[in-house]
Amino acid sequence: MTRGIYALTDGMITDIDLFKKNAYNMSNANTPGFKASGMNLAEAKEFEQYIIGGDGRLIGELGVGPVIEERFLNYTQGHVQYTGNEYDFALQSKQGMFAVQTENGIRYQRAGNFMVNGDNKLVNQFGDAVLDENYQEINIPQGSKVSVRADGTLSPNNVKLGVFDGEYRHVGGNLYVTENATPGVNYTVFGNSVEGSNYNPIEGSIDMVLLQREMQMKQNLLKQQDDENKQLIQAIG
C-alpha cells in the first residue's frame, strides 16, 4: 500500500509541473515568435517482480510513478502574419533565431517585432540591440525606408540580420540561450511580418481539463490508500 502512495504522490508532483508548463504556454498564445515547451516522462524507478515470494520466475516490472525525463522546445513553425511594419521580420526556419545584445550578454529570440530607437539602432521590444551576422549592432540610416531580402539582408545599408541555429533553452521573457550557435542555414526572412506563437490554445485547453481530472482522480485514490492504511493499522493494533 505504501508503494501505491509513493506512486500517486510522484504522479501528482509531475502533474503540477505539467500544469505549470501548460499554463505558461497558454499565457504566451499571442506572443510573437513564442516556442511552446514540452516534457517527456519516464518511470521514477522500476522493480522486478517474481512469483513465489520473490523466489520464482520473473513476471514483470512495477514502476513507482512518473518523473520528468526531459524538457524540450517545440520548434514547429508559427503562422506568418502580415503587419505592414517595416521593422517587423518573420523568420521561417527549423531552429534559427535572431540575436540580441542584452545587459546579461547575447540572447536569442524568434520574435522579429523590432523598432528603431533614438540612436537609429534596430532594437527589440525591450530596447536590446538586434545583431547582424557578425554579432554587431545594426544602424538604420535616419529617414530611410527599410526592406529585407529573403536571406535577411537589409536595404539600404546592405547589412544582414543575424540568424543562428542552435539547441536553445528558455531563460525568461521571450529570450533563449544556446552554447552551440552556428550561422543559420535553410531559412527565409519575410519583411513587414511577424511569426505568431506556435502554441495551440484549443489543444492546450483540452490538455488542462484532462490534467485537472487526472489530478482529482489521483487525490481520490490517495485518500483511499490512506484510509486503507489506517484500517490495516487499527486491525493489527
In this predicted model, what pLDDT tens digit does every residue of 30-49 receive, in sequence order?
999 999 998 887 766 655 66
Please state which of the ranges 16-25, 125-134, 170-179, 211-220 shows the lowest mean pLDDT. 211-220
Residues 34 and 61 both lie in one domain: yes
Query: Are the C-beta atoms of residues 122 and 201 closer than 8 Å to each other?
Result: no
Q: Is 40 found in the same domain as 98?
A: no
Most confident of 13-22, 43-52, 73-82: 73-82
Per-residue confidence band for 128, with pLDDT thresholds at 50, 70 and 90: very high
pLDDT single digits (tens) 160-212: 999 999 999 999 888 999 999 999 999 999 999 999 999 998 988 898 888 88
37 and 113 fall within a common domain: no
Residue 205 lies in a domain: no
110 and 3 assigned to the same domain: no
Domain boundary among 27, 45, 74: 74
Q: Whole domain around residue 88: which residue ranges?
A: 80-195
155 lies in some domain? yes
Domain boundary among 74, 96, 128: 74
Shared domain check, 61 and 164: no
How many structural domains comprise the chain?
2
Same domain for 27 and 60?
yes
**63 and 110 share a domain?**
no
pTM (whole model) above 0.75:
yes
Domain membership flag for residue 221: no
Q: Which of 231, 222, 91, 86 is nearest to 147 (CA)?
A: 86
* Domain shared by 95 and 126, yes or no: yes
At which of 74, 100, 123 does a domain end? 74
Confirm whether 179 is domain-assigned: yes
Is 201 part of any domain?
Answer: no
Say which residues have a Cβ less than 8 Å from residue 20's Cβ, sequence separation at least 6: none
Which of 37-51, 85-99, 122-136 shows the lowest mean pLDDT across its residues?
37-51
Residue 139 has pLDDT above 60, yes or no: yes
Q: What is the pLDDT of residue 2?
A: 64
Query: Both 48 and 109 in a single domain?
Result: no
Residues present in the chain in total: 237
233 exposure class (CB count in 10 Å sphere: 0-12, 13-18, 19+): exposed
pLDDT at 4 over 70: no
Mean pLDDT of the region 215-229: 78
Is residue 223 a part of any domain in this protein? no
Does 1 score more than 60 pLDDT? no
In a domain, 225, yes or no: no
Question: Residue 235 falls within a domain, yes or no?
Answer: no
Residue 10 and residue 57 in one domain = yes
The pLDDT value recorded for residue 70 is 83
Q: Are residues 52 and 124 in the same domain?
A: no
- Measured distance CA(1)–CA(225) in Å, rounded: 7
Residue 85 clears pLDDT 80, i.e. is over it: yes
- In terms of domains, do 94 and 70 share one? no
Predicted pLDDT of residue 46: 59
